[in-house]
Structure formats: C-alpha cells, structure tokens
C-alpha cells in the first residue's frame, strides 16, 4: 500500500467508505452543521447508455436523515437522473451511493426495497386494477416468493391508505381515477412499502393545486410522524422552498448549491440557474417575483 | 374467486363436457349416442385403478368391451390431449403477454414456433431416421430458438421490445429455412405430415400423448399460478417492478422458461397450434380483469373449451377427412377476436 500515491488510494472503495464513516463520526463529535446523512452519493458520474458525455457529475450529495430534501433545477439539469442513481435504478459509471453507510450495490434487491422506496415520474398500471390491489403491491419486497399476505401487510396497507387519504376510492379501478387521485393511489403504494427513505420524482407535476398540496401534506406528515427521510424532485422552486428542510439546486448536471432554503434561494441562484431576474422576499415564506418579462 | 370467474369456468367446463361427448359419440365405428355414453361411464374403467394405471403409466390393458375400448382408448384420449394443449397454450400466451407487455404476444412470440417448425421439417426431410423422436425434437427446437432469441436480445439485460424484435428476427430466418425445406420433399404424404405438424393436429393422439404432456402441463400451470403475483407486478412497468425490489431479469427469464415449457409440451403432442394462446387470454381478461391469479385460472378452463370445440370441427366437419385443428382454431378464434375488438373499446390493454 505504501507505494500508492494518495490519489490512487482515494480510488479504493474501502478507503472511501472509511473516510465517509470517519466524516460522519467527526461531524457528530465536533457538532458541525452538516447533519447525519441517510443517503450519500460520492464522486458520482452518471450517464445513460445512449449518451456519450456524463449527464451528471457530482462530488458529493447528502440526503440528511429524517429531513425533507428537495432537488430543484431547470429542465435537463439532471435532477431525475441523480435521483435514479440514489434509488439504485441507474448504476453510476464512477462513484458510489451509500445508504446508512453501506454501499447500495451491496444490498440485495429486495432488502434495498425494504429500506428505500421510489415513486417514478411515469408509471402505468392495468386499468382494471383496484386501488387497494395496487397498494398491496407495495408489500412486494416484504413478502417471500410463496408467502401469503400477513397481518403486518394488512396493517401497512391500511396505514398507507389512511395516510394518503384514498380510503374513499380504495375499491375503484385505477383507470377510472383522475390524475390527482391516481397519483395519491401510487403514493399509497410506496407508503405501503414502509421504508425509512422515500424518493419522489416530481410527484406534483400535472396535478391541480389541491392535489399538489394533498401530496405534499401527505409526505410532510410521513416525515414528521414517522421520521421518514424524503428526497423529492420539485419543479416549483417557491413550493420547494416552503416545503423542504434542505434544497439541492442543480445546474447542467452539477450541484450548484446545497443548504436550507433561505440560504439557497437567492436572486443570484435564480439568475444563474433559472436565468430569471427576480426578487426573493421572505414573508416569512419565500416569494419569488419576476422583475420583468424574459 | 368471484362470480365472473366462476361463471366463466363453469361455462367452459360445459363446453368441454359437451364437446367431449360429441367426440366420443361419433366416428368411423358407429354406435348410438346412448351406447357411447354408457361406455364413457363404464364402471369397468372408471372405477378400476388398474386400468387408470395403464392409461397414465403405460402397459397392457385388460379385456374391456369393444365399445368401451374405442371410447376410452381412441376417442377420449384425444379430448384429454386437446384439454392439455388448450390449457398449456393459453397459460403460456398469458405469461408472454405480461412479460412482453404486448397484447399481440402469443406463446410463439419468442421464436418457439419457428424453431419447432424448422426441426420438424429437418427431421422429416433430412434426418428421417429420427422421425420416432419427432415430438421431442420439435419441443427441443422450440426451446433452442427461445434461448437463441434471448441471447440475441441480451445486452446488459434486456427489454420487452428487444425480446420481441429478436423473436421476429429468429422467426423470419427459421421460417424461411423451413419453407425452403418443403422444396426437397418428393412424397405428398410427407408434405401432409409436415403441414399437420406445423399447423397443429390432434389426429391419432393417444394415451401416450397424454402421458407425455401431463407432467409438464401440471408443472407449468402450477408454476404460473404460483408466479401470478410476479406477473402482476410486471404489469406495473419495469421501473416500478425494479423499485419494488424485483430482480427483473431473473424473473423475466424464469417466467419465459415456464411459458416455453408449456408451449413445448403442447408442440410435442399436437404440433404448432396457432391462435389459442393469443385469443384465450384476451377473452378471459375481458371477463375477469387483468389480475393474473384469476387470469391463469380462467385460462386453464377457457383454453380447453376452445381447443375441444375446435377439435370437434376438425374431426367431424368434413368427415371422413380430418383437418388439422390449427386451421379450425384460426377460423373460430379470428372472428371472435374481431367481435371482441369491435365490442370492447379498451381491448388490447394488458
């Protein structure tokens, strides 16, 4: 080992994991501002088979434990791609993602799905599927191949249906629901998965205001009552700033800024990342007022 | 279990029983319907475990009445083979429709029929010494073609579209080779035999065919029932299935394997019967919805109903000439499919 240059040593996984763990212990002992992370990405380089250049390059991303983190950025900035790699849906070309300090590729598929749930941007289901049956599919990772549904499954499904507020439509077919109701039904499904970490990819896009708020309230409730760690891609930056504890702003596949909304959402960010000249007021909720037309 | 599924199963059962009774009552050896029915319920067979052992495991039959022998040893086995083939093909088609997420998928979408067809022709034309093993070779050809399709489609994993495309590629090439081989046949008898195998026929099926297909059918159908939850999760889309922790490539390959076993078992006893595996899952889905537990159960009943009814037509319509049953399934299945398509706005949604 002694011949290795420091840079090369940095490349080894063991060392990386050690340094990450060391980081965390240091933080705890020194009481630094950085909170414990449930999910950490380090030295990530992400691309799709069809793309030549990396779509996302990111030295370090933290999803603080027990908090809500919102990923914001313009279209094509790599938010969804980053979320996919955090959810083990996209294998990074380089770098690693750690869940509770353990590299996610070391997890068994089902074990991982018991810890982390993901609601994708697009999902389709057979139209004749009932909402209740859809929610039961959320129990998939908890059940063995031959296992029937257990008491625990029933309890988790009831809780999820209650939390997402889809009790009144539980017997309806998914195909007959409005877009907002359907989204809530899908959220109930990931809630039934009963994970400590929940990733949501644009859960409010295309929903009317009422259903947007319903979705966000459900997520907030889950976070406050059950301490679930949430990372969510949101389009509306004002909404993200109101809703999240932490913001991750992305630009052109890189992390632009990271921190509490008040520190991240600035006129400078809006100009740099979103190319909008706007004033930011906190009243105390953030308000974003464009200064002139584009 | 719900009312729609039960009525579908009961309805199918009635068709199977009626079709079976027609099949045993008519044929080259004339007997009255009453005589035929009495032979069906002949206690010397029905209540005799020794006879059943011979039927299911092979061996020498004890002395039975002439009519009983004709009914039980010639006419009924054909009905049983039709039941097995119908169930196998429909379950296989249902599985492939979930795996490829394509409503036009059938048991033969991944090259199984073309592989089987090519080996049938090769056996009949080139390696005629092996014709005794034709059923097994046909099934084997189907499985090999399936593996080849998977190999072609594989590139760091696969996807429904890649699989279907690879199936089309392999199917096209094998189909051409198969058609080419027809030119080397001089004997019209061999041509007819080849057509019977490649369009599917139950002519001359016997207890031996029942014995050959039964274990595989039971295996494939039970595996399909056990896997119904996996199939249901596959319907939620690849991404959702993966985020729920399904090892999607493994599950997809194993389920395809189950579907191919079912298809191969039916090819070994009846040749390549078309359309059953495509139309039956649609019919069942139309009645019981897309839940695969109910769908597979429905297919196990409805497939045999279509197959037995079609074979009545194949055997008796132009008597004494017997048509390949595959021709009749196409003639019944096609218009029924058209009717469904006209009636049902959202037909085609898997």
Domain boundaries, chain B: 3-343
Tell how strand A68-72 and strand A229-233 pair up: parallel
* pLDDT the model gives residue B68: 86
Phi, psi of A166 (to 5 degrees): -115, 20
Chain B partners within 8 Å of A127 (Cβ): 290, 346, 349
Helix (H) or strand (E) holding B62: none
Q: Are residues A104 and A7 in the same domain?
A: no
Q: Hey, which residues does A64 pair with through a beta bridge?
A: A37
Q: Are residues A117 and A4 in the same domain?
A: no
By the CB < 8 Å criterion, does A121 face chain B?
A: no
Best CA proximity match to A198, nearest among A165, A224, A233, A229: A229
The reply to whether residue B237 touches residue A138, judged by beta carbons under 8 angstroms, is no
Phi, psi of B158 (to 5 degrees): -140, 180
User: Quick one: closest CA in A to B226, which residue?
Assistant: A146
ipTM above 0.85, yes or no: no
Mean pLDDT computed over B199-204: 88
Is residue B127 reached through a cis peptide bond, with omega within 30 degrees of 0 on the bond before it?
no
For residue A124, what is the domain's CATH number? 3.40.50.300
* pLDDT the model gives residue A23: 47
More confident call, B336 vs B280: B280
Chain A partners within 8 Å of B291 (Cβ): 128-129, 133
Mean pLDDT computed over A193-222: 90
Q: Are residues A160 and A258 in the same domain?
A: yes
Q: Tokens for B31, please give them.
A: 């007997």
Inter-residue contact B254 to B333 (CB < 8 Å): no
How many whole angstroms separate alpha carbon B31 and alpha carbon B46? Answer: 20
Q: What is the pTM assigned to this prediction?
A: 0.86
Q: How many CA atoms lie within 13 A of B21 on its CB side?
A: 12
State pLDDT tens for residues B109-161: 888 888 998 998 898 888 888 878 888 888 899 999 999 999 999 988 888 88
Q: Are residues A236 and A90 in the same domain?
A: yes
By the CB < 8 Å criterion, does B231 face chain A?
A: no
Q: Is the pLDDT of residue A18 over 60?
A: no
Q: Hey, which residues does A251 pair with through a beta bridge?
A: A254
By the CB < 8 Å criterion, does A205 face chain B?
A: no
State pLDDT tens for residues A111-139: 999 999 999 888 878 888 999 999 999 99
Q: Are residues A135 and A123 in the same domain?
A: yes
The reply to whether residue A123 touches residue B236, judged by beta carbons under 8 angstroms, is yes
DSSP-derived secondary structure for B257-287: HHHHHHHHHHHHHH----SHHHHHHHHHHHH
The CATH class that applies to domain B3-343 reads mainly alpha
Q: Are residues A11 and A86 in the same domain?
A: no
Q: Are residues A112 and A15 in the same domain?
A: no
The reply to whether residue A137 touches residue B243, judged by beta carbons under 8 angstroms, is no
Q: Are residues A98 and A230 in the same domain?
A: yes
Best CA proximity match to A242, nearest among A285, A289, A288: A285
User: Quick one: closest CA in B to A118, which residue?
Assistant: B243
How many whole angstroms separate alpha carbon A88 and alpha carbon B242? Answer: 9
Q: Are residues A127 and A59 in the same domain?
A: yes
Report helix, strand or coil for A256: strand
Confidence of residue B349 (pLDDT cuts 50, 70, 90): low
How many whole angstroms separate alpha carbon B66 and alpha carbon B63? Answer: 9
Q: What total of structural domains would you count in chain A?
A: 2
Q: Is the pLDDT of residue B341 over 80?
A: no
Q: Are residues A193 and A235 in the same domain?
A: yes
By the CB < 8 Å criterion, does B232 face chain A?
A: yes
Chain A partners within 8 Å of B245 (Cβ): 109-114, 140-141
Q: Are residues A93 and A220 in the same domain?
A: yes
Sequence-distant (6+) residues with CB within 8 A of B80 are B210
Percentage, residues of chain B above pLDDT 70: 98
Q: Is the pLDDT of residue A259 over 80?
A: yes
The reply to whether residue B244 touches residue A113, judged by beta carbons under 8 angstroms, is yes
The reply to whether residue A140 touches residue B290, judged by beta carbons under 8 angstroms, is no
By the CB < 8 Å criterion, does B233 face chain A?
A: yes
How many whole angstroms separate alpha carbon A203 and alpha carbon A236? Answer: 11
- Give the domain extent around A14: 1-32
């Amino acid at each position: 080992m002694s011949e290795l240059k420091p840079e090369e040593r940095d490349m080894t996984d063991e060392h990386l994991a050690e340094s990450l763990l060391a980081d965390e212990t240091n933080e705890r002992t020194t009481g630094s501002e950085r909170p414990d992370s449930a999910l950490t990405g380090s030295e990530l380089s992400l691309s799709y088979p069809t793309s030549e250049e990396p779509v996302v390059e990111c030295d370090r991303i933290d999803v603080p434990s027990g908090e809500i983190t919102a990923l914001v950025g313009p279209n094509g900035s790599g938010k969804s791609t980053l979320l996919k790699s955090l959810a083990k849906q996209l294998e990074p070309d380089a770098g690693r993602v750690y869940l509770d300090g353990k590299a996610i590729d070391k997890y068994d598929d089902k074990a991982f799905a018991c810890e982390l749930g993901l609601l994708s941007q697009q999902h389709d289901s057979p139209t004749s599927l009932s909402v209740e049956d859809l929610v039961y599919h959320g129990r998939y990772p908890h059940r063995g191949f031959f296992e029937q549904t257990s008491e625990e499954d029933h309890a988790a499904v009831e809780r999820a249906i209650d939390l997402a507020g889809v009790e009144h439509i539980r017997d309806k077919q998914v195909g007959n629901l409005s877009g907002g109701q359907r989204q809530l039904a899908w959220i109930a499904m990931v809630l039934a998965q009963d994970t400590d970490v929940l990733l949501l990819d644009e859960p409010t896009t295309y929903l009317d205001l009422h259903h947007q708020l319903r979705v966000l309230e459900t997520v907030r409730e889950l976070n406050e009552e059950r301490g679930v760690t949430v990372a969510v891609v949101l389009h509306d930056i004002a909404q993200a700033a109101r809703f999240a504890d932490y913001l991750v702003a992305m630009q052109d596949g890189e992390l632009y800024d990271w921190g509490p909304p008040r520190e991240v959402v600035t006129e400078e960010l809006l100009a740099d990342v979103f190319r909008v000249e706007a004033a930011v007021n906190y009243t105390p909720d953030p308000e974003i007022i464009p200064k002139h037309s584009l | 279990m719900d009312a729609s599924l039960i009525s579908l199963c009961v309805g199918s059962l009635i068709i199977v029983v009626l079709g079976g009774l027609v099949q045993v009552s008519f044929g080259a050896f004339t007997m009255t319907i009453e005589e035929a029915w009495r032979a069906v319920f002949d206690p010397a067979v029905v209540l005799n475990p020794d006879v059943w052992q011979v039927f299911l495991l092979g061996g020498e039959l004890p002395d039975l009445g002439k009519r009983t022998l004709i009914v039980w040893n010639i006419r009924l086995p054909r009905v049983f083979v039709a039941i097995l083939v119908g169930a196998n093909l429909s379950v296989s088609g249902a599985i492939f429709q979930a795996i490829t997420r394509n409503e036009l998928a059938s048991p033969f979408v991944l090259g199984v029929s073309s592989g089987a067809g090519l080996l049938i022709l090769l056996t009949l034309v080139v390696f005629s010494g092996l014709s005794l093993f034709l059923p097994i070779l046909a099934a084997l050809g189907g499985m090999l073609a399936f593996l080849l399709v998977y190999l072609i489609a594989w590139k760091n994993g696969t996807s429904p579209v890649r699989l279907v495309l690879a199936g089309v590629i392999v199917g096209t090439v094998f189909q051409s080779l198969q058609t080419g081989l027809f030119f080397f046949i001089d004997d019209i008898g061999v041509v007819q035999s080849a057509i019977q195998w490649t369009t599917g026929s139950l002519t001359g099926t016997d207890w031996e065919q029942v014995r050959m297909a039964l274990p595989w059918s039971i295996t494939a159908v039970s595996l399909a029932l056990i896997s119904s939850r996996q199939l249901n999760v596959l319907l939620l889309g690849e991404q959702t299935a993966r985020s729920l922790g399904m090892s999607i490539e493994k599950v997809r390959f194993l389920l395809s394997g189950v579907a191919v076993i079912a298809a191969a078992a039916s090819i070994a006893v009846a040749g390549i019967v078309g359309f059953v595996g495509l139309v039956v899952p649609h019919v069942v889905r139309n009645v019981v919805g897309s839940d695969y537990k109910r769908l597979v159960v429905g297919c196990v009943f409805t497939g045999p109903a279509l197959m037995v009814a079609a074979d009545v037509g194949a055997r008796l319509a132009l008597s004494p000439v017997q048509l390949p049953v595959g021709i009749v399934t196409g003639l019944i299945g096609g218009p029924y499919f058209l009717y469904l398509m006209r009636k049902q706005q959202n037909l085609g949604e898997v």
